[in-house]
Chain A
């Protein structure tokens, strides 16, 4: 077990250093959520005036949604990095070392978690600078960031598995393009559930992105519903564990095809 941990440590360090050696990339990756905050925040500003919306500041409402949307849209490309590492021969180099397969997969998960936490924290700070209020304070922010990490883990692991199994950029691009907007709009990222058509309300309840948005928004509110946070968080955690286990299993299929 300790060998798995130390191997995970070294392999994660490699990925994080590679990321930090490209500061321009880190900054560019933050531009997208900032644009969303600005565009959607202004476009939908007056929806809070709709009867039954229940909040007075759309920015307060939007921030947990943008945090989760960002976690989804960044991590769903994880498979591209895996694909690049397969093509470059890096994955094969690690697979013939005496390190466990789970350490290789864990290093992806931990790196994604660190990146996602950082980006989520920056979005929260930018929101605060733009005048958003977080009555839930530190505990609420921690839940929000933790939820974004779970969203990132679920979709990152899924994307890694696709990359390893299909080994085609086009497939990842196709799946992501297909999934991003439905997952975002069939949720309470932009709109309260009570104001959606009935069929949408049903679908949105089964959307893992929505679980994270609901949990994060509740934890950040003045009166958090901790039961709701625990149940949505629990489901997300379970789904994340399943996704990581599945993607570790895909090494076996990869070994057959390599």
Chain B
């Protein structure tokens, strides 16, 4: 079994209810191995940001324990603050200051001084392609530049653990790709990264390990390959022209269940999904039987399992739907 010190971040049974009654965390537990990118994947409102706030000493949970870089963020916040870098969803850089001045101030507040600090700031400006813009006020930066500066701010003091809360939300595809390339290079120096995202593609691309978070709990955990591998067979998605009433839903499910090799049938609004040992064989049969049962089929697709399927399996809902129905990020 793993030894505690292999984990850069450990959380056990975190519970937090906000004063307005919103239950953000309902017993969330995590183990993040050192030196890896660990992804927290879930829709808006799942509790990802609150988890980061608790682990980074910003928020106090109602219950639960945590260790970050070997220290307790609740009892010993100062050593934790020295060991971590935090890049939150909202920039936090001062728009009236230049990029360089923001970085210098951040370094000074970590106790860095003189030539060491100046060298570190130059190095980060170069690394994040901000050297040319270093002496411009941050309010003139593009979204992508601002985000790169935010990550640089989190790295000034060479932290052991970096928290990245939705690092690419709001970026255009080009800036997002550039940010992904930067993040995947970061663990080279032994840095541990805890990343939250509601982009399935981002989690799949960047994370060595993933925890799927839903309603304040971790519902599944593993490497992206493991999580996808647990779903054997192909995914079938059947889009219906209309939502079904109860009787029609039963008939549709029965029609699919009768096909050999088809299982895990789920109806979510006007989308039917199921797993099939061999989708190529099952799709024509499914189409024929559903039509015979009077179910109005619009489209049928079959695919290798994706993280979306993993999410559906563990959270019981489709990712896009959960994302659009739950409240916005706090």
Bound together: yes
Q: Let me know if A94 is at the binding interface, CB within 8 A.
A: yes
Q: Are B90 and A257 in contact (CB under 8 A)?
A: no
Q: Are B89 and A89 in contact (CB under 8 A)?
A: yes
Indicate whether A88 sits within 8 Å of B108 (C-beta atoms), given known contacts A96-B81, A255-B58, A256-B19.
no
- A17 — which chain B residues lie within 8 A by C-beta? 96-97, 101
Determine how close the nearest CB of chain B comes to the CB of A187; give it in whole angstroms: 35
Determine how close the nearest CB of chain B comes to the CB of A17; give it in whole angstroms: 7
Give the interface size class of chain A. 20 to 34
Per DSSP, are chain B's interface residues mostly helix, strand or loop, or mixed? loop
- A97 — which chain B residues lie within 8 A by C-beta? 81, 106, 109-110
Q: Are A257 and B19 in contact (CB under 8 A)?
A: yes
Q: Residues of A with Cβ closer than 8 Å to B?
A: 3, 6-7, 10-11, 13-14, 17-18, 21-22, 87-90, 92-99, 255-258
Determine how close the nearest CB of chain A comes to the CB of B128; give it in whole angstroms: 17
- B78 — which chain A residues lie within 8 A by C-beta? 98
Residue-wise, chain B 91-108 has the 8 Å CB interface mask toward A (1 for contact) of: 111111100010001101
Indicate whether A22 sits within 8 Å of B57 (C-beta atoms), given known contacts A93-B88, A98-B110.
no
Inter-chain CA distance A256–B111, complex, in Å, is: 28
Determine how close the nearest CB of chain B comes to the CB of A6; give it in whole angstroms: 8
- A18 — which chain B residues lie within 8 A by C-beta? 94, 96-97
Inter-chain CA distance A212–B106, complex, in Å, is: 38
Indicate whether A92 sits within 8 Å of B97 (C-beta atoms), given known contacts A10-B109, A97-B110.
no
The answer, among A7, A13, A89, A257, for a CB contact under 8 Å with B92, is: A89
Residue of B nearest to A18 (CB): B96
Inter-chain CA distance A257–B86, complex, in Å, is: 19
Q: Let me know if B274 is at the binding interface, CB within 8 A.
A: no
Inter-chain CA distance A96–B105, complex, in Å, is: 14
Q: Are B109 and A94 in contact (CB under 8 A)?
A: yes
- B90 — which chain A residues lie within 8 A by C-beta? 87-89, 92
Inter-chain CA distance A92–B59, complex, in Å, is: 10
Residue of A nearest to B79 (CB): A98
